[in-house]
Structure 1
Amino acid sequence: MRAPAAQRQRGEAARVADSGFSQQLRRYYGWYTGTFLVLVVLLAVGEQFGLSSRAIGHVFLFATIAIYATIGVVSRTADVAEYYVAGRRVPAVFNGMATAADWMSAASFIGLAGTLYFSGFQGLAFVTGWTGGYVLVALLLAPYLRKFGQYTIPDFLGARYEGNIARLVGLAATILASFVYVVAQIYGVGLIASRFVGVEFEIGLFVGLAGILVCSFLGGMRAVTWTQVAQYIILIIAYLAPVVLLSWKVTGVPVPQIAYGTVLQKISEKENQLLSDPVESDVRNQYRYRALAYEQKIADLPTSMDAERHALGERVKQLRIEDASAREVAMAERDMRDLPRTEAEAKVRWEAARLDALDHARAPPRHAEAHPGATPEESQAARRNFLALMFVLMVGTAALPHVLMRYYTTPGVSEARRSVMWSLVFISLLYVTAPAYAVFAKWEVYSNLVGSSIAFLPDWVASWGKVGLVSVEDINGDGLLQLAELTLNTDVIVLATPEIAGLPYVISGLVAAGGLAAALSTADGLLLTISNALSHDLYFKIINPRATTQRRLVISKSQLLLVAAIAAWVASLRPDNILFMVGLAFSIAAASFFPALVLGIFWKRANKWGAVSGMLAGLAITLYYVSKTHPFFHGSMANAWFDIDPISAGVFGVPLGFVVTIVISLITPPPSVEVQALVDFVRYPSLTETPDR
């Protein structure tokens, strides 16, 4: 049936308006990009004329936060549709950029290249999983959720599964997954601010938090969207600049994505030298002996703890008798104070030290070796973990509430599909570069740092050591740095690469600004997802359906402040590395949402009791597996099923969620006719679709 003339006219007017709006945005962001590049050039010139690194760091930090805050203030709104879904008028290209910024968190910007640095081929599970997930988003979810409309993922669950039970379960899962994710982002903000501005970690964390809140508090999704576009521009420039310069320096080719293959060959040769070096072997053996000593001390508890205390006490006495230096005495006294006070505390601390020693005792995996392992069983376990992690990241990508919410903001279904395509294009710019980043950084460390004198290490070792991301121990006392004696945190590789490579400090400041943009953009989206879920799905849909618009926005903003404060407090405890926390959020989202969303769209027979049971079962088995296997709870990875790492716990939750949802749905009454009609409505978008207003 042909659309009425009036409807066609409205659709044409809307398309013309959207075209003009899109051109205006291109002009604004073009000027913004040019201005930012000029600022970088001016700071580079200033560095040559003596501008201090501290001043450069301050300019990058506060200038970019000021830009984001300005966009947030200009985009303030009191309109519900603007606050929750940016008025549903974000063009596909710009929504793709905003989604990419929302998506490429501190884990992608800071953690991905570091993971590839340490695990080589195994780390490609992150690249293939995260990018592949957008194929699932485009095929299975984005256009159908956009056709449904509304504001949140629990909204869809409540409508599709007839009531507030499914909505509440979805709300709880949304908060849990998003909270774990946002803690990692705020931790990244504190890390960057503390290193590049010179403030304490906790202070830097709350400075960054202020920037997050200004962006999202006043304008909701509208402000967050336009801020995220600006943040994407900064983060992608910051990510590409150092590795392009490093590629030019090492290979003479300023295209790292195609030049790093030759450097990878050199790394393989260097790995052969290091693995056959008798000094390196001796260092690894000494760490192995240390691990055995800790194992014996744990076995001899509590006697070993008393013996340790007695030995340190005697050492302090002896140093005083020998009139040793005040520094030696103070160090011995500190060692005494730091001794575990209880048997349980000793067991946890010594087990952690044992595992750390074992990590140093192992030869690092070859960068280009697929599924490395000392035995066939270890290789098979590595293969299973690669596939499990890739699966969880793909499915988790297609189920993250803060990502799926972005497709509610497009003018229509076709724009939602194009938006996914643009998201993948913008994301791939970073993901195809991350392997090159890891290779160039590893080459610089292997060729210029390993084997150098410990007394004359580069300044960046001490700088990053102050924030706990780099440490050096001369265990064999030869005064030279062996590879096994160097500890680099995963999160330091990208942030320190400009310093490792000897690039101008302005590049380091640029990288810090990019990492900050990545963390802030994702934190904005996650905090908004949590606060919107609480204010819209809990307060408005369940507690007070008659609430006024003003009241709903007040509730949303108050929840935003509360959640941000709690997340900042948890981040200040430095819970774990960024990449693991983000991976856990993916497992939670995958197990909780993916079966319910996919079956809700493609299977009419799925009903309320099946979906609720499936979500609870998937979430429960995922959390149980993490608590059963993660070293935080046991001191070591114990009781793993099929040797699957806890970061991939969702690999058990997703299939269980599908099975439970299907079985319970089949043995309970089918959904109502109205709900089945909703499925048809969502599944088959109208060919005469006009943009929503």
Structure 2
Amino acid sequence: MSELQLYAYIAVFGSFAMYFVIAWWARAGSTSEFYVAGGGIPPIQNGMAIGADWMSAASFISMAGLIAFLGYGGSVFLMGWTGGYVLLAMLLAPYMRKHGKFTVPEFISDRYYSKTARIVAVVCLIIASLTYIIGQMKGVGVAFSRFLEVDYGLGLGIGMAVVWVYAVLGGMKGITYTQIAQYCVLIFAYTVPAIFISLQLTGNPIPQLGLGSTLADGSGVYLLDKLDQVVTELGFKAYTTDSLGSNLNMFAYTMSLMIGTAGLPHIIMRFFTVPTVQAARSSAGYALVFIALLYTVAPAVGAMARLNLTNTITPATNEHLEYAERPQWFKDWEKTGLLKFEDKNSDGKIQYSAHAETNEMVKIDRDIMVLANPAIANLPNWVIALVAAGGLAAALSTAAGLLLAISSSVSHDLMKGVIAPDLSEKKELLASRIVMTMSILLAGYLGLNPPGFAAGTVALAFGLAASSIFPALMMGIFSKRMSGRAAVWGMVSGIGVTMLYVFQHKGVMFIPGTSFLGNMEANWFFGISPNAFGAVGALVNFTVAFIVLKLTGPAPSNIQQLVENFRTPGETSVAHRYQ
């Protein structure tokens, strides 16, 4: 066993042991503890748990990789995901916490006085959550397959088992305290290598400042200027220029991520775990600080990773690395299939460029950038192992939150709320655990066999949430007159048009190898890409809802009074739910 593998086993399984101990200590004994941790989580701890729930494998592993290759265009993820959190904290979470419900579909059911609305919300939630969880499962498989040198499927199975233990046993209570530990692991694992690499490249130990600093080689050249020079010499667009098409597409992409984020049920549920409305607002502020610790470092990580990668493969202009002399990290990632070289001219050298006919680096998966960056920079093995533990913590924490959102929507919203209203608390708790077990198995299957329309991206999940759940919540809070029938038609129209557009332009349907309306990528609606179409779906949702409202009439007066009650400043009158 190599030194790196030993460190990886210690870091990964040591953190897993900590999660198990916490889960056993904080196991849920009632539905209140299972769904909302008994409503007694202090704001600072809840802020850390929100940070872990928020910073998924997409944030930890994929975001810096996207920024590394998209450059300026990757800023949509920073703006969209953080902006969405601000929207959620200011416009949705306090009002929904005051109303005092366990889940998002339950709130929608009460607000829109309709079981149909509840069922539609559950369906939208499950579609968005399952799509999102695919990315987490991929993150788990990638981290395990590389650092523990096990098969991707086996690594995924180990991750599923870990989530099952602490999510099914502890529910929201166990997940919350586990996520606090996971936040500490992931933020330490993300920032420590960034500090090392920033110091190495620029002499500045603060990555956020290192990104705008001159290189440590004494040349006086700024890091971003050097990166622009290096990538343009290889035929790529300058790193600091836009790479996401038109300004309209960039705006739509940012908006889709922003309002999709604000509509993600597993994040909204976190605000139900605090005792008061004021605590919900406070935990939102703390969470923003904890999230910023990673999100402000990500641009530096992305830029420095791209510079290190390019300088390693192509050490100098017109000089190519001998394939036989490739570094160890290159060989290690080749084994995973996420890095591939093809010697097109049989000269034994690695030619890396933007031109497909001559480029011999035929695959550089963006998801490897954060995980490979410490090894590329020749950092100590314990730092590399720490990154593996951090990536797994990020993926598992979000997967647990998503699985809880799915299980609660089925057991609490469908079974208890619609099918069997007289279901006892004990049977509901058992049903929740059974549903979560089934959800974990389904998530594992999707991780092994991702559907074509969702492979490689979680942006679609945000688009689906943006087009369905967010508008329903916004109209439910800020439009007293909005009726149940109008909201249902809005949700169905929004998510329907978004899914139709995605399937049409991705060239896929539910069956691999089939196309719905053909591959029409050249005919995007006003140049808006499928991953950015959630913003358009949200507009459709709002428009259809207000048209139906105009045709069918407003909500009853008692519902309008309900909306007034939870919009009125002051604490909720339903605190008994959490006692």
Give the TM-score normalised by structure 1: 0.77
Please, which runs of 5 or more residues in structure 1 have no aligned partner? Answer: 1-49, 281-362, 373-378
Note if contact 2:99-2:574 (Cα within 8 Å) is conserved in structure 1.
no
CA distance in 1, matches of 2:478, 2:409: 25
Q: Which residue of structure 1 lines up, in the alignment, with residue 240 of structure 2?
A: 368
Q: Could you say what secondary structure the match of 1:664 adopts?
A: helix
Q: 2:338 aligns with which of 442, 461, 469?
A: 469
The residue aligned with 1:420 is: 284
Shift of 1:137: 1.0
Aligned partner of residue 491 in structure 1, secondary structure = helix
Q: Secondary structure at the match of 1:162?
A: coil
One-letter identity of the residue aligned with 1:457: R
Is it true that 1:156 corresponds to 2:20 in the alignment?
Answer: no
Going from structure 1 to structure 2, the CA distance change for 1:244 and 1:270 (only over 3 Å counts) comes to closer
The one-letter amino acid paired with 1:659 is T
Q: What residue is the counterpart of 1:439 in the other structure? A: 303
Number of the residue aligned with 1:268: 225
The root-mean-square deviation of aligned C-alpha atoms, in Å, is: 2.0
> What is the match of residue 438 of structure 2?
562
The alpha-carbon distance between structure 1 residues 273 and 174, as it changes in their structure 2 partners (threshold 3 A), is closer
> What amino acid maps onto 2:293 in structure 1?
L
**Which amino acid in 2 is paired with 1:566?**
L
Partners in 1 of 2:485 and 2:223 — Cα distance? 58
Q: Does residue 396 in structure 1 map to residue 265 in structure 2?
A: no
Q: Which amino acid aligns with 2:267?
A: V
Distance 1:273 1:620 in 2: 44
Alpha-carbon deviation of 1:84? 0.8
Query: CA 1:616–1:489 in structure 2 vs 1: closer, same or farther (change >3 Å)?
Result: same
User: How far has the Cα of 1:122 moved from its partner?
Assistant: 0.2
Quote the residue 2:6 is aligned against.
Answer: 55
- Report the 3-state secondary structure (helix = DSSP H, G, I; strand = E; otherwise coil) of the residue aligned with 2:309: helix
Contact 2:141 2:153 (8 Å CA) reproduced: yes
Give the counterpart of 1:90 among 41, 50, 66.
41
Q: Residues 453 and 506 of structure 2 are in contact (CA less than 8 Å); yes or no, is this contact kept in structure 1?
A: no
Tell me the residue number matched to 2:541.
657
| Counterpart for residue 524 of structure 2 | 640
Give 1:596's aligned residue: 472
Classify the secondary structure of the residue corresponding to 2:340.
strand
CA drift of 1:239 comes to 0.3
* 1:639 Cα offset (Å): 3.0
Contact 1:171-1:533 within 8 A present in 2 as well: yes
Hey, what does 1:117 align to over in structure 2?
68
**Which letter maps to 1:393?**
L
Match of 1:126 in 2: 77
1:211-248 per-residue CA deviation (whole Å, 9 max, x = no partner) reads 11111101210000000010000000000011100111
Task: Check the 8 A contact 2:198/2:204 in 1, yes or no.
Answer: yes
Amino acid of the residue matched to residue 434 of structure 2? S
Deviation string for 1:590-635 (max 9, x for gaps)? 1111111111111111001100000000000100110011155556
- Name 1:226's counterpart in structure 2: 177
Name the aligned partner's letter for residue 536 of structure 2: F
Shift of 1:580: 4.9
For 1:525, the equivalent position in structure 2 comes to 401
Secondary structure, counterpart of 1:110 in structure 2: helix
In the alignment, the residues of structure 2 paired with residue 571 and residue 581 of structure 1 have an alpha-carbon distance, to the nearest angstrom, of 12
C-alpha contact (below 8 Å) 1:630/1:638 kept by paired residues: no
Match of 2:463 among 575, 578, 587: 587
Asked if the contact 1:155–1:167 (Cα under 8 Å) also holds between the matched residues in 2, the reply is yes
Aligned mates of 2:132, 2:526 — CA distance in 1: 26
| Superposition deviation, residue 274 in structure 1 | 5.7
Indicate the percent of aligned positions where both proteins have the same amino acid: 40
* 1:288-687 map, 5 Å: 363-369=235-241, 371-372=242-243, 381-450=245-314, 451-484=320-353, 485-486=360-361, 487-575=363-451, 580-632=456-508, 633=515, 637-686=521-570
Equivalence for 1:254: 205
Q: CA deviation at 1:643?
A: 2.0
Q: 1:532 to 1:689 in 2, by over 3 A?
A: closer
Distance 2:404 2:389 in 1: 22
Q: Which amino acid letter does the alignment assign opposite residue 531 of structure 2?
A: I
Alignment CA distance shift 1:505-1:535 (3 Å): same
CA pair 543-270 structure 1, distance change in 2 beyond 3 A: closer
Structure 2 segments unaligned to the other structure (5+ residues) = 216-220, 315-319, 354-359, 509-514
The C-alpha deviation readout for 1:300-344, integer Å capped at 9, x for no partner, is: xxxxxxxxxxxxxxxxxxxxxxxxxxxxxxxxxxxxxxxxxxxxx
1:251-278 C-alpha deviation (Å, 9 max, x unpaired): 22111110122358345345446645xx
Structure 1 residue 57, shift from structure 2 partner:
1.4
Q: Larger radius of gyration, structure 1 or 2?
A: 1
Task: Please state how far the C-alpha of 1:482 moved relative to its aligned partner.
Answer: 2.4
Does the aligned pair in 1 maintain the 2:454–2:460 contact within 8 Å?
no
User: Residues 244 and 255 of structure 1 are in contact (CA less than 8 Å); yes or no, is this contact kept in structure 2?
Assistant: yes
What per-residue deviation string (whole Å, max 9, x for no partner) do you get for residues 394-440 of structure 1?
10111000000111111111111111111111111111101100111
Moved more, 439-448 or 228-237: 439-448
Equivalent residues of 1:100, 1:427 under 8 A apart: yes
Is the 8 Å Cα contact of residues 100 and 572 (structure 2) preserved in structure 1? no
Question: How many Å apart are 1:90 and its aligned residue?
Answer: 0.8
Q: 1:80 to 1:141 in 2, by over 3 A?
A: same
Secondary structure at the counterpart of residue 570 of structure 2: coil
Deviation per CA, 1:644-665: give whole Å up to 9, x if none.
2211120210001111111111
Report the residue type matching 2:109 in the other structure. Answer: G
Inter-CA distance 470–578: structure 2 relative to 1 (3 Å threshold): farther
Instruction: Indicate the structure with greater helix content.
Output: 1
Aligned residue identity for 1:473: E
Deviation track 1:136-163 (CA, whole Å, cap 9, x = no partner) reads 1122101000001110000011001112
Per mean C-alpha deviation after superposition, the further-off stretch among 264-273 and 222-231 is 264-273
For 2:185, give the aligned amino acid. Answer: I
1:688–1:477 distance in 2 versus 1, CA, 3 Å: closer
Q: Deviations over 1:490-513 (max 9, x none)?
A: 100000001111111111110000
Give, as a single letter, the amino acid of the residue that structure 2 aligns with 1:430.
L
Q: 1:577 to 1:646 in 2, by over 3 A?
A: closer
Cα distance in 1 between the residues matched to 2:572 and 2:114: 31
Residue correspondences, number = 551
> In the TM superposition, what is the alpha-carbon distance from 1:444 to its structure 2 partner?
1.1
- Cα distance in 1 for partners of 2:364, 2:453 equals 12
Amino acid at match of 1:605: R
Distance in 1, matches of 2:10 and 2:412, equals: 38
Distance 1:462 1:578 in 2: 29
Amino acid at match of 1:456: E
| Match in the other structure for 2:512 | none
CA distance, structure 2, for counterparts of residue 589 and residue 82 of structure 1: 26
